[in-house]
Amino acid sequence: MDDKRNIIMAVLLTGIILFGWPLMMERFFPDMANKNEVVEEANAPANDQVGDKAGTPVGTPSAGGTDITTGPVSNTIRPLATVLRENPRVLIDTPRVKGSINLKGGRIDDLTLSDHTVDMSKDSKPVRLFSPSGTQDAYFSRVGWAGDGVAVPDDNTIWSADGSRLTPETPVTLTWSNETGQTYAIKLSIDDDYLITSEQSVTNRGANPVALRPYGLINRKRDLNNIPPSEASTWTIHSGPVGVYEGAANYDVDYKNLAGEEPGFFASLFGTSAVAGTNSYDKDVSWLGFTDKYWLSALIPDNINDVDAKFRSGGGDIFQAEIAKKSAKIIAPGQQLKTTTRLFAGAKENAVLVKYQENLGITNLDRAIDWGWFYWFEKPLFYLLNWLFKLVGNFGVAIILMTFIVRGIMFPIAQKQFASMAQMRAVQPKMKAIQAKYKDDKQQQQQEIMKLYKEEKVNPLAGCLPIFLQIPIFFALYKVLMLSIEMRHQPFALWIKDLSAPDPLTPVNLFGLLPFDPPTFLAVGILPILMGITMHLQFKLNPAPMDPMQKQIFSIMPWILVFIMAPFAAGLQLYWTVSNTLTILQQKWLYSRHPQMKEAMAKEAEEKARKAAADKAKA
C-alpha cells in the first residue's frame, strides 16, 4: 500500500514540476532587459544602430523551387517613422486594421491592430504586427513570381497603384510591366477583420512563352536572445513557425531549430520532426506562418494540393515562411495566369478563426491557438467561459461562475471521493494501532492493514479517481486562460486590472507602499497567497497520511505552489482559489453527513488538544 501511495505521490509531484519548472526558470532568471511586449508601438522611434540583417528577405524560390537567391543585406536599423516615409505607399484603413503597403517591392509591411493595445495605460498605442525592412522588428509579407529567362518584379520594383487607400469597400490593384511584354498585377482586397486577399495575374503580351511560378512569403526578424519570457515558446505554449499540413497542425518547428541550434529539453523529450535550416512540406498544405501568444500571420494557398511550402532561416535572426506552386506554369503569348493567396494577419480571436475555417474551408485554422492535448475538452470550456463573460460583462465573475459549474459537474464524483476519505479517516485509529503493534514486522503490518480494509469495506484508492480526473480539467483551464486573447487586458475588481497577467500586489513591499520592487522570486501576489491558504485548509480536512514523509510533503506543498503559481495569469490563480474554497465547503457539508467522520474528527480534535496540553505542561 505504501508503494501505491508513493507512486501516486510521484505522479502528482511530477505534474507539479512539469507545470511549474519552466515558469520557475523564467521567474528566477528573467531577461530583465526585455520585459515589454514583443510588438512595437505604432509610431515608436527606433534608435539608429547597427544590427544584423535587418529584415532582408531570405530569398525567393526559383522556377524549379529548389534554390535560394539571397538579396543584398542591410545592416542599419533605422527609426520606423523614417522608413515609412521613404517610399510611396497605399494606406490600409479598416475598422480593425490600420497601416500601409509599400509600393517598393509590393510589401505589406505596416500593420497595427486597432482593437488591441500594447498595454493598459490610457495613452497606449495599438499593437504593431508588421514593420518594414530596416526597422528593429522587421516583419512583412508579399507575393510574387519566380522565373528563369524572364524579368519578374523583385524587392526593388516600384509598383503602380490604381488607388490610394485599401478598405473593405475599395480594393487596390498594383501593376508592373517588364520590357518583354509581360504585365504583372496584384489585386488586393481586405475584409472587416484580418484577411487580405492577393489575386495575382500575369498577362503575356510578348512574342514568346514564359514559365513562371507564383509564390508568397512572410519574412520576420526575430532576435532569439531577446525574446521576452511571456512570448517564449515552451512545451505548453508554442510560439514560432506553425502550420497545417495533411490536415494536422504542426508545432514541431521553432526559431532556434531553424537557426541550427539544438532543440530544448522538452522538444527533445516529446520529439520533434524539425530540421535545422529548412523544413519543407509538399502534401496538403492548408496554411503556414508565424505565431506569437496572441498574434498570427499565415499564408493560405488557393489549392492545397498544388503547393510546396517551406520554413527557412537566412542566418542570424531572419526567418521566412513561403508557399509556391509545385512547378512553373507555361504562359503562351496572349494568355494569362491567375492565382490567389490569402494572408491572415491579426489577433488569434477564436470566433474570427472559426469563421474563416468554416466559411472559406481553411483546415484547422483555429489550431493556430495551441490548444494542446485536450483540444476536445478545452474548446467547450472556452465557449462556456466566453458565454458567461458576455452574460455578466466581467471576466473574473465569469471565471468564478465557471468554477461553480465545473465543481457542480464534479459533485457526484466528489461525493464518492469524500465517502472513501470518510471511511479512511474513521479507520485511522485502528490503522495506527496495527502500526504500533507490528512496527518491527512490516510484512505482517501490511497483511493486517489489508485485512482491516477488507473487514471495514474500505478502498484506499477510491479517493484518487477525482484527483486524476481534475488533471485534464486543470490543464485545459490553464490553456484556455493563458491563451485566450479574449481575456487579455480584462479587469476583475480592486487591484486586479489584467486577468491575463500575474497578480501585481505583493506584501513584500507592503503592497506598493514601500518605494522598491522586490526580487522576482519574492514578488508573490495576494491571489497566490490566498490559493496557498485555501489549499492548506483543504489538506487539513483530508485524512492525514500515515507515512511521516508524505505528511511533511503535503504540509509544505501548498506553500511551494504559492511560488510556482505566482507567475501565472491572475485568472488561473482566481480559479484555483475559488475551487479550493468550494472544495472546503463541499467537504464540510459531506463530512457532516457521515457520522463516522464526525466521530473521527472529534476524536482527532480531542487527541490534538491532549497533546497540546501535554506539550504545554512540559514546557
Indicate the domain borders of the chain: 40-370, 382-618
Q: Are 293 and 231 in contact (CB under 8 A)?
A: yes
- Give 273-276 contacts, CB < 8 A, sequence gap 24+: none
CA dist., res. 79 & res. 41, Å (int): 12
The closest alpha carbon to 337, from 210, 173, 206, belongs to 210
Q: Which residue has the cell 480539467?
A: 473
The beta strands (E) that lie in 314-456 are given as 318-325, 329-331, 336-347
- Whole-Å CA distances, 190 to 93, 171, 521, 562: 9, 7, 46, 47
Predicted pLDDT at 58: 53
The three-class DSSP label of residue 481 is helix
Predicted pLDDT at 12: 55
CB-based contacts of 221: which residues, under 8 Å, 6+ apart? Answer: 53, 54, 55, 136, 137, 138, 139, 317, 318, 319
Beta bridge partners of 212: 329
Predicted pLDDT at 460: 66
The closest alpha carbon to 483, from 298, 346, 350, 299, belongs to 350
Taking the complete model, does pTM exceed 0.75, yes or no? yes
Predicted pLDDT at 564: 81
Predicted pLDDT at 132: 94
Helices and strands counted in the chain (H then E): 14, 23
Q: Which residues of the chain have pLDDT under 50?
A: 1-4, 6-7, 10-11, 14, 17-19, 21-56, 62-73, 265-271
Beta bridge partners of 110: 100
Q: Are 524 and 566 in contact (CB under 8 A)?
A: yes
CATH top-level class for 40-370? mainly beta
Q: Are 410 and 466 in contact (CB under 8 A)?
A: yes
Predicted pLDDT at 597: 59
Predicted pLDDT at 595: 62
Judged by phi (left if over 0) then psi (alpha if -120 to 50, else beta), residue 316 lies in: left
Predicted pLDDT at 444: 83
Considering only CA atoms, give the Rg of the chain.
30
The closest alpha carbon to 145, from 97, 211, 84, 231, belongs to 211
Q: Are 394 and 492 in contact (CB under 8 A)?
A: yes
